[in-house]
Structure 1
Amino acid sequence: MKLFTSVALAALLGGALPALAAQQEITWWDFFAGGDGARMKALIQEFNDENPDIKVKATTLEWGTPFYTKVRTSAAVGQGPDVMTYHLSRLPMGLKEGILTPITDADLQAAGLSQDDFYAAALAAAKGPDGTLYAVPFDIHSTVLFYNKDLLKGTPYLGEDGNLTGIDGLDSFEGALEAAKSNGSTAPLSYATGDDGGVYRVFYTLLAQQGGELISTDGQVLPGDSAEKAARAIEIMTKWTENGWQPEQALYEASVALFTSGKSAFFFNGAWEVPTMVDLSAKNELGFEWGVAEIPTLMGKQTNWADSHGWAVPIQGKSEMSAEKREAVMKLIGWMEKHSLDWAAAGHIPAYKPVASSPEFAAMKPNSNYAGLADRATYDPRSPAAGVASPTYDAAVNIIAPAIHGYMPPTEAVEQLKAELEKAMK
């Protein structure tokens, strides 16, 4: 006997079958590895489980230059992702390359979001010069100051409550470094002194705390008296080397090891290393009590370097994304923002204020201890020459790093820095 298909049977009975909604498949690219990668994969799986009408197919690519090079070349020919993670410091470069599409008010509405939901500094970093939004901020990740409480015991810099205290300027910070050295610290201050990111973030923080600018909004390198302030920042970092307070030419992994092994009293690094300390403490593998705080006001202004991960929708070559897929992408972005408490466990501050101001985030320690930096952080210059994997990072490792190790005077380093960045902007 011949079997009827469901369609034939429906026609025979004079009925009509309802159209089946097509599942929207979203191609996703990110650059998250390690603990960040594990957390993001868990969030994507949770989203897929909760939203059977959307399927996110995620690919993780190599962080930095490889990621941004692939995005540029792939998006231009319509072979890129539908949505991607994007450092907001790279947004000026993305606009110059013409690979980012605007995020409209209708997009935000589809995501269940509004611009008022985000911290002002992160939102500004997600916009182009004309105020058009090109990304949705996801987090704020900044430099913070980790400290070894054991190496500060008996000094004026550890309060009775076990928290860092008494550091209100450069002199008192350097006094704490010397006190830690007297307490047996062999490298009182650790950071990646031979690494582009480590050197750049400390330098940029010291410059910003003086009110200096690396690149102005109109494209001037070290405008006004910023060259003198840049030289002062390099001079300070050089002194830390000469006094034996910081390691010579330490790469990233070595800088982490100096702190986790108990040799350093202080550690400048991103808040993304908070999970490392939490995990080691939980396993009783750290060997000392630790704390974390905002970087103190060393040079007059309370601020420090920051960047944000955001969500961006690249061009699709010469084609346009369908309205249905774009709506699905925005639904995904909105879901991620509202679930960013899970991401905050990686040390980040949620850029989405309803989560950042929630009781749940307030209870997340030590992350909420430095949450105030979200209102005070200084983002990278809004220039194609700045941001992750940019000429500013190259200049940090090729010019500033040698200078802080005594290979050239600060003023000469600043001259080279200015020339290098001006060349990069032509």
Structure 2
Amino acid sequence: MRLIRTLLVGTVLSLSALPALAKQDIIWWDFLSGGDGVRMKSLIDAFNKEHPDIQIKGTTLEWGVPFYTKVRTASAVGEGPDIMTYHLSRTPIGMQEKVLSEITDKDLGDAGLKKSDFFDAPVDAATQEGKLYAVPFDIHALVLYYNADLLKGSPYLDAEGKLTGIQTMADFEKALAWAKEKGVETPVTYQSGGDAGVWRVFYTLLSQQGGELVTNGEILAGDNAAKAAKVIDTLSKWRENGWAPEQAEYVASVALFSAGKSAFQLNGVWEVPTYKDLEKNGKLGFKWSAVEVPPFMGNRATWADSHAFAIPNQGDKTVSGEKRAAVMKVIGWMEKHSITWADAGHIPAYKSVTESSDYKAMQPNATYASLAEAAVFDPKSPITGVASPAYDAALNIIAPAIQGFMTGEDAVAQIKEELQGKLK
């Protein structure tokens, strides 16, 4: 008996001498505010609750230039986060700045993921020189919102009140003219006075013509110039005819639609929860929905980007070992729980979630999910992407041209001069 007691005491003492399993604190940076921020915080809280051994310590920074400037400077001196949200459109810039750490097949395995789990377009956007540098979380794209009440009595609603009969630009402009004749204040609204909104519409319509911004190191080469000018002149025509707003900033462009003053809106999927919440609280006052942007200029194509997860380099090093495995575990968990993120209007990049019955029950999300096949990401160039020279050109050249200060042809000449010098 004494021998057994001695053995037990010895075992307890031996176990107590072992080092405790280290808790991994994961430093997380994102740029997500509003509804996106609320949903991401709920995901982080849920992960932390389920994983006492891995705790995410989250910080939200200002979207756009401030976020990416902070990432670049912090990474350069080895003081960046362990994981960050990242726009895939900025992958080429991130490579140029040496910010992004390669996501290897082993990393994906640690997350319980593989490339084939995701839609092709965002994986391609996250890939540079055959290597993956971020894990796509969603596809967020331009969609066409419509006010079904304002379109009553038109040939543009079917028996179920769904949009119909609009495939070409001629169809759409007839619908805009019809709405104007019926007293609709602004038949179509979009952010006509801001860089992001102008770029998204411009790039969608350019891509629908098979146009490209950058080819073989040249800006709007060959007939791409004429295609770009056609887009600008079309958008200018909308304004001249009173179909689109004069220099509307983002909030104003959304307010035109939510106030029932626009029959259509060209905007991102992220406004879906805005209208759902207004509808739920009885503050919307009309029936609405959203669809993939029709092939106005010939081909199915719509501007798209992705929020993704990336691991920044820390000076000349990168997150490694157990910490890196923990980061990948976070990413894998987020992907597999992205139905919560889909509630923000985004299309999950992780296909099994988008193909799930839960997602298919989400409306109008499931209706426009087809655009995953038509998504066109910005060119793989350091002059494009969020907070890039291309966005500057949209604000400083394309927007004024839309407002009638120059022709589409003159605007294209300025775009070529402005961007060519920045293309290395």
Determine the structure 2 residue equivalent to 1:397: 395
Alignment of 1:212-251 (within 5 A): 212-216=211-215, 218-251=216-249
Deviations 1:79-136 (A, max 9, x none): 00000000000000000011111000000000000000010001000000x1100000
Determine the structure 2 residue equivalent to 1:80: 80
Determine the structure 1 residue equivalent to 2:321: 323
Determine the structure 2 residue equivalent to 1:411: 409
Deviation at 1:322, TM superposition (A): 3.2
Q: For residue 84 of structure 1, give the secondary structure of its aligned residue in structure 2.
A: strand
Q: Is the 8 A contact 2:101 2:318 kept in 1?
A: no
1:196 aligns with 2:181: no
Alignment of 1:12-411 (within 5 A): 15-17=14-16, 18-128=18-128, 130-216=129-215, 218-411=216-409
Size of the aligned set, in residue pairs, is 416
Deviates more, 1:218-227 or 1:201-210: 218-227
Q: Is the 8 A contact 1:219 1:383 kept in 2?
A: no
Q: Is the 8 A contact 1:221 1:421 kept in 2?
A: yes
Q: Is the 8 A contact 2:311 2:319 kept in 1?
A: no
**Aligned AA (2:367):** N
**For the residues of structure 2 that align with 1:399 and 1:97, how far apart are their CA atoms?**
27
Deviations 1:144-167 (A, max 9, x none): 011011111111001111000000
Q: CA separation of 1:21/1:148 partners in 2, compared to 1, >3 Å: closer, same or farther?
A: same
Q: For residue 424 of structure 1, give the secondary structure of its aligned residue in structure 2.
A: coil
Q: Is the 8 A contact 1:151 1:184 kept in 2?
A: no
Q: Is the 8 A contact 2:187 2:243 kept in 1?
A: yes
**Aligned AA (1:203):** F
Q: Is the 8 A contact 2:312 2:318 kept in 1?
A: no
**Aligned AA (2:83):** V
Deviations 1:148-193 (A, max 9, x none): 1111111100111100000010111000001111222110010010
Deviation at 1:12, TM superposition (A): 10
**Aligned AA (2:164):** T
Deviation at 1:78, TM superposition (A): 0.7
Q: Is the 8 A contact 1:23 1:55 kept in 2?
A: yes
**Aligned AA (1:333):** I
Unaligned runs of 5+ in 1: 1-8
**Aligned AA (1:50):** E
Q: Is the 8 A contact 1:10 1:16 kept in 2?
A: no
Deviations 1:234-254 (A, max 9, x none): 010010011000010100000
Deviation at 1:294, TM superposition (A): 0.8
Q: CA separation of 1:13/1:225 partners in 2, compared to 1, >3 Å: closer, same or farther?
A: closer
**Aligned AA (1:344):** A
Q: For residue 48 of structure 1, give the secondary structure of its aligned residue in structure 2.
A: helix
- TM-score norm. by structure 1 comes to 0.96
Deviation at 1:11, TM superposition (A): 7.0
C-alpha RMSD of the superposition: 1.3
Deviation at 1:221, TM superposition (A): 0.9
Determine the structure 2 residue equivalent to 1:4: none
**For the residues of structure 2 that align with 1:197 and 1:338, how far apart are their CA atoms?**
30
Deviations 1:225-277 (A, max 9, x none): 10000000001001001100001010000000000111100000000000001
**Aligned AA (1:292):** A
**For the residues of structure 2 that align with 1:73 and 1:410, how far apart are their CA atoms?**
38
- TM-score norm. by structure 2 comes to 0.96
**For the residues of structure 2 that align with 1:291 and 1:63, how far apart are their CA atoms?**
27
Q: Is the 8 A contact 1:142 1:304 kept in 2?
A: yes
Q: For residue 55 of structure 1, give the secondary structure of its aligned residue in structure 2.
A: strand
**Aligned AA (2:116):** D
Deviation at 1:10, TM superposition (A): 6.7
Deviation at 1:16, TM superposition (A): 3.9
Q: CA separation of 1:105/1:412 partners in 2, compared to 1, >3 Å: closer, same or farther?
A: same
Q: For residue 289 of structure 2, give the secondary structure of its aligned residue in structure 1.
A: strand
Q: Is the 8 A contact 1:85 1:311 kept in 2?
A: yes
Q: For residue 245 of structure 2, give the secondary structure of its aligned residue in structure 1.
A: coil
Determine the structure 2 residue equivalent to 1:6: none
Q: CA separation of 1:174/1:320 partners in 2, compared to 1, >3 Å: closer, same or farther?
A: closer
